[in-house]
Amino acid sequence: KAGVGPDKAVVIENAPYGVRAGVAAGIDVIALNTGPLEDRYLLQEGAKILYPSMNAFCQDWDTLNR
């Protein structure tokens, strides 16, 4: 629907199954650990970057969006 290929998209997820789905689609995944899971569960599914909170992600947005 966005009209872009997987190389131009990004998935932002906080659940292991969502990370897995993004990776399976060939899209880079940024994980936000906003819940009780250990970071390793999100990273094991293939997240390229992991942030410990939405605030940490937002603070880095300008750097990511280049």
Residue 46 is predicted with a pLDDT of: 98
Q: In Å, how far are 1, 5, 39, 50, 63 from 16, measured between CA atoms?
A: 24, 22, 10, 12, 25
More confident residue, 8 or 20: 20
Instruction: Give residue 65's Cα distance to chain centre.
Output: 14
pLDDT digits (tens, 9 = 90+) for 11-31: 999 999 999 999 999 999 999
